[in-house]
Structure 1
Amino acid sequence: MKTILTTGSNGLLGQKITEKILAEGRVKLIATSKGKNRYPIKSGYEYAEMDILNPNLVKKVVEKYKPDSIIHTAAMTNVDTAEADKELCHQLNVDAVQTLISLCEEKNIQLIHLSTDFVFDGADGPYKEEDAVNPLSYYGESKVLAEELLKNSKANWAILRTILVYGITNDMSRSNIVLWAKGALEKASPINVVNDQWRMPTLAEDLAEACILAVEKNAKGIYNVSGKDYMSIADLVRKVADYWGLDQSIITEISSESLNQTAKRPVRTGFVLDKTINDLGYAPHSFEEGLKIVDAQMKKVQSKK
């Protein structure tokens, strides 16, 4: 049985990987993150505190647990924060990747790296894996730089690019587009939503499954991993309203220009998923099915309170 070490295990994707591994027992898990373990179940796997900006500590943890594969989920993902603090973004999204690459080369460890649709400019989506990158933001640029490091390395690597990940954690602390939309609509105050950006939102469970499949199938190269439904952000919010029976009349559709965000966003991303479906056996849920899964989990969390 393979041993996987995850970085960023306290995040949404990190927690979903832990959940899946504990439920299915397909691999052994070493979960690592900055600070204390926030996953509610503490048995069935090992946890180590690990700040990915501390190369000596990363080396120590990797040498202690000797994983077959590392799934690197830790990153700065807030696009506007990345634009405002480029130095920290570079440390987290580029330098930390180089630390892991060096260790993986030296110790023959497979490295699964998470990337983003923001490596593209959005002029011509949906995209295939081999399409030319052209990031509009520093966040996207940092992810391109990390991808280049991997491509030029001697490591056994795979890059999983994803889009707009949604889902809930047990502590409900991490927001994302679906939770934001549901929460905002429930408050019944008017909300503005952009209608000129198109995406393929990704259920966190689907992305976690793709990460584990990439390990099991010893994936090499770049893979697109997203949901299968293509929609505008405004459509997405309306679908959330529909699912939970919330009032759509409070939604005002606006253009991206009127938001004055720090970082530019691509207009049309989305992915062609054929390679990932054929090579890895990836089978994403529909957006409707994803909302049903999130709803069931919310009810479970609330019933425990």
Structure 2
Amino acid sequence: MAKLLITGSSGFLGWNLCQIAREEWQVYGTYFSQPVEIPEINLVQSDLRKFEELKRIFEEIKPDAVIHAAAQSQPNLCQTRPQESHEINVTASCNIAGLCADYSIPCVFTSSDLVFDGLNSPYRETDPVSPVSIYGEQKVLAEEGMLKRYPQTAICRMPLMFGDGGPAAKSFIQPMLESLRKGQELALFTDEFRTPVSGQTAAKGLLLALEKVSGRIHLGGKERISRYDFFRLLVEVLGLDEAKIITCRQQDVKMAAPRPPDVSLDSSKAYSLGYHPPSLREEFEQLRGKV
């Protein structure tokens, strides 16, 4: 089997990637601070911010392809610690693209729908970027830097993702469901829209991109939905009849990082290549008993 290197394997997306990729690849995964055990996956502790460590990993593993999923993905933290997050989100990403170029192997990067300002959705790959947060800015810098180093890189702009994240990670839904199950009230935006997919669906899209894509591609779901309506559907499918969900607006909540109102993605390019996200209802039904 060919060797696939997945960075950030203990994270939400990386863990989901490992579950899917091990069916067809010999998978090597890196983690930084959260050691995990994943059956059939060869895991390596590494600080990707250190170029010498990165170089050593490539020399020892000799991967046939790389999916770079490691990141500081919390926009509020990036906003308050821009230099620290820049090292992993931008510098390490560009170094990985450079090494993939040296080895002439496929390279996939997980970017974000937050490269857009949310004022002109749905967004296609050719639309101009206009991030409103430092996290979004860092993803733009990484995209540009990686393509400059290695034009064959597949830049995959990911939507909001949800689902099971393994032993060391969670998606945004778990803490919210925990609050609802305790009978607490949950206020959710009616004016923030995304095109979400599960971690499993996202992983399948990234593996498809590894085989078929160079340049930018969007891997969003087929439904544009607000946070409020997303959770209304989720609690209905999970049977949480007593859940207390109320509405609020973005402007009512103070956050360190500004949030765009509607970064829904037009992913028709990916659909034409064979990317087929299920409906949200189908995705939620798959999560019964797991979240």
**Counterparts of 1:63 and 1:156 in 2: how far apart (Å)?**
21
Matching of residues 230-245 of structure 1 within 5 Å: 230-245=224-239
1:84-233 alignment to 2 at 5 Å? 84-171=80-167, 173-217=168-212, 219-233=213-227
Cα–Cα, structure 1 residues 249 and 185, in superposed 2: closer, same or farther, change >3 Å? closer
Q: State how many pairs are aligned.
A: 291
Higher helix share: 1
2: CA distance, partners of 1:160 / 1:297? 27
In structure 2, give the amino acid aligned to 1:213: L
Structure 1 alignment gaps of length 5 or more: 299-305
Runs of 4+ in 1 over 3 A off after TM superposition: none
Classify the secondary structure of the residue corresponding to 1:152. Answer: helix
Distance in structure 2 (CA, Å) of the matches to 1:190 and 1:36 = 31
Does residue 1:252 correspond to 2:246, yes or no? yes
Structure 1 residues 74-89: aligned runs within 5 Å: 74-89=70-85
**One-letter amino acid of the structure 2 residue matched with residue 88 of structure 1:** E
2:258 to 240, 258, 264: 264
Identity percentage of aligned residues:
29
Partner residue, 1:14: 14
User: Quick check: 1:136–1:266 contact (8 Å CA) kept in 2?
Assistant: yes
Per-residue deviation at 1:215?
2.0
Larger mean CA deviation between 3-12 and 288-297 belongs to 288-297
Answering whether residue 27 of structure 2 is matched by residue 32 of structure 1, we say: no
Which of 269, 281, 284 is the matching residue for 1:288? 281
- SS of residue matched to 1:156: coil
CA contact (8 A) 2:116 2:129 kept: yes
Equivalent-residue separation in structure 1 for 2:158 and 2:150 (angstroms): 24
Query: What is the Cα deviation at residue 234 of structure 1?
Result: 0.8
Structure 2 Cα separation of the partners of residues 148 and 169 of structure 1: 29
Matches of 1:203 and 1:293 in 2, distance apart? 10
Give the unaligned 5+ runs of structure 2. Answer: none
